[in-house]
């Protein structure tokens, strides 16, 4: 463990005012949740909004509701995504079919999607992974003829837009996540959106069966949020990052997650979401532009987002040339506290717990993404100097892989711009 400036790979800072709003939720519970519902309804222009305990819980409820309407059981989802997504599908009692991901755009492989979204499929998950826009209208066109629903996974993409329509309003239903490390957070939480009355009624029935979170649990979550805020700052993050038992950033497949309504303390923590979201979005978009410019001539592949999408880049994805290169960049980042990290340890097809249930859907591009992807931090706690240091370290390493962390310090030429890699 080394006490040095250490960037978390992702962070959604909150202020003492937000913590206070969270506590106020204890004394006026229904006002807090109802106010948030009305606020989200107006912002997204949708008729139906619910707040629940997590994104996983939100997806499980949507899937149960859709299954109740159509009776079908197969959920088509990206071959590379968060393990929570298949966890929710299994929790809803349904089965997974994979569709490959185009590594240039992070959109689905549309030719494979056309085959997968047949008359057997319940729904397709259109996932705006890392805040990068998926062409949901095109997904809808493919699904419409087969009576297949489209569910937008906006867990990592709150604030993004497609042709000026917010992500989450183009499919039949959508969910958001307010988990740690998302665009904005309340510790853990999720929201469900739909404009469709029939789907809305089915979701309302599922929601009615959810329990409330106990007061002790509300306070525990509040405390965790407060402690996280304290430790997430780059001047202190070296401490939790050096404690392996915290398992920070670990991705797990598990189906026994809580299914509950969102409580008023969490809703209070989200009360100033608009200011926080616009601040978060501004820094993510600006850092991404700066990093893309600095890395433009490096031998790596950065994302080419689809036209018409305003992507919000929860982190910036960069594909290395090999698995070895990815691993060495991650090791270097760990040693220097750069916040550059891999995402999920494997494609969904390689999740051991799914081996009995998954059909043999080949998703080679998803496997390639899992092997080569590193993500660069874009959040508000990243400074301009950090951006330069991250890019020059990656470029220096790719030029001279044998060199250890020390040899990339100093100054290096980066794409015509002189970049300081010292902190
Ligand atoms: C793409 C994606 N979908 C769904 C989820 C589930 O959200 P939650 O963690 O709030 O359950 C996550 C969480 O990390 C995610 O990244």
Q: What is the pLDDT of residues 67-97, one digit of tens each?
A: 999 999 999 999 999 999 999 999 999 999 9
Length of the chain: 423
Cβ 170 vs Cβ 189: under 8 Å:
no
CB neighbours of residue 411 within 10 Å: 11
In the predicted model, is pLDDT for residue 306 greater than 80?
Answer: yes
* Better-scored residue on pLDDT, 416 or 387: 387
Cβ 125 vs Cβ 151: under 8 Å:
yes
Q: Where in the chain is the domain with CATH 3.40.640.10?
A: 16-208
Q: What is the pTM of this model?
A: 0.93
Q: CA torsion, points 259, 263, 267, 269, in degrees to nearest 10?
A: -100
Q: Which has the minimum average pLDDT: 112-121, 122-131, 278-287, 317-326?
A: 112-121
Mutate to test the pocket of ligand 1, among 61, 101, 158, 177 (most ligand atoms within 8 A of CB): 177
List the residue whose alpha carbon is closest to atom 14 of ligand 1: 82
Q: What is the pLDDT of residues 117-139, one digit of tens each?
A: 988 999 999 999 999 999 999 99
In the predicted model, is pLDDT for residue 182 greater than 50?
Answer: yes
Q: How far is 105 from 111, CA to CA, in rounded Å?
A: 15
CATH for 273-420 (3.40.30.10, 3.40.50.620, 3.90.1510.10, 3.90.1150.10): 3.90.1150.10
pLDDT of residue 1: 67
Q: Where in the chain is the domain with CATH 3.90.1150.10?
A: 273-420
Distance 179 CA to ligand 1 centre (A): 7
Q: What is the pLDDT of residues 307-320, one digit of tens each?
A: 999 999 999 999 99
pLDDT of residue 5: 93
Distance 385 CA to ligand 1 centre (A): 30
List the residue whose alpha carbon is closest to atom 10 of ligand 1: 55
Atom of ligand 1 nearest to the CA of 56: 11
Distance 409 CA to ligand 1 centre (A): 36
Distance 200 CA to ligand 1 centre (A): 22
* Residue 45, CA atoms < 13 Å, CB-side half-sphere: 6
Atom of ligand 1 nearest to the CA of 57: 11
pLDDT of residue 287: 97
Mutate to test the pocket of ligand 1, among 51, 52, 80, 85 (most ligand atoms within 8 A of CB): 85
Instruction: State the fold for domain 16-208.
Output: 3.40.640
Atom of ligand 1 nearest to the CA of 58: 11
Q: What is the pLDDT of residues 186-215, one digit of tens each?
A: 999 999 999 999 999 999 999 999 999 999
Q: Which has the minimum average pLDDT: 256-265, 286-295, 391-400?
A: 391-400
Cβ 188 vs Cβ 261: under 8 Å:
no
What average pLDDT does the structure give for the chain? 91
């Amino acid at each position: 463990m080394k006490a040095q400036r250490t960037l978390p790979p992702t962070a959604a800072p909150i202020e003492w005012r937000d913590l206070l709003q969270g506590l106020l939720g204890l004394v006026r519970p229904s006002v807090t949740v109802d106010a948030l519902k009305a606020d989200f309804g107006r912002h997204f222009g949708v008729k139906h909004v619910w707040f629940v305990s997590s994104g996983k819980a939100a997806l499980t409820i949507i899937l149960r509701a859709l299954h109740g309407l159509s009776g079908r059981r197969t959920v088509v989802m990206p071959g590379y995504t968060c393990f929570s997504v298949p966890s929710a599908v299994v929790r809803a009692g349904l089965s997974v079919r994979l569709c490959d991901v185009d590594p240039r755009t992070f959109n689905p492989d549309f030719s494979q999607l056309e085959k997968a979204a047949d008359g057997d499929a319940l729904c397709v998950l259109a996932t705006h992974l890392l805040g990068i826009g998926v062409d949901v209208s095109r997904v809808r066109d493919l699904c419409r003829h087969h009576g297949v629903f489209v569910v937008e996974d906006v867990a990592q993409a709150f604030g993004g837009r497609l042709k000026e329509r917010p992500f989450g309003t183009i499919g039949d239903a959508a969910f958001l996540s307010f988990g740690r490390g998302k665009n904005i957070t309340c510790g853990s939480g999720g929201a469900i959106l739909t404009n469709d009355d029939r789907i809305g009624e089915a979701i309302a029935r599922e929601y009615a069966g959810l329990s409330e979170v106990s007061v002790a649990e509300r306070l525990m979550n509040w405390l965790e949020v407060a402690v996280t805020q304290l430790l997430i700052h780059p001047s202190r993050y070296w401490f939790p990052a050096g404690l392996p038992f915290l398992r920070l950033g670990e991705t797990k497949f598990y189906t026994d997650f809580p299914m509950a309504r969102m409580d008023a303390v969490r809703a209070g923590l989200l009360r100033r979401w608009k200011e926080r979201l616009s601040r978060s979005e501004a820094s993510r978009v600006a850092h991404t532009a700066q990093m893309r410019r600095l890395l433009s001539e490096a031998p790596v592949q950065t994302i080419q987002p689809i036209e018409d999408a305003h992507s919000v880049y929860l982190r910036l994805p960069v594909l290395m040339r090999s698995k070895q290169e990815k691993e060495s960049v991650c090791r270097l980042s760990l040693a220097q506290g750069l916040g550059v990290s891999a995402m999920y340890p494997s494609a969904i097809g390689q999740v051991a717990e799914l081996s009995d249930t998954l059909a043999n859907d080949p998703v080679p591009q998803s496997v390639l993404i899992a092997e080569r992807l590193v993500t660069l931090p874009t959040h508000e706690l990243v400074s301009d100097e950090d951006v330069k240091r991250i890019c020059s370290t990656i470029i220096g390493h790719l030029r001279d892989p044998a060199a250890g962390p020390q040899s990339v310090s100093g100054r290096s030429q980066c794409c015509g711009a002189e970049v300081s890699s010292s902190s």
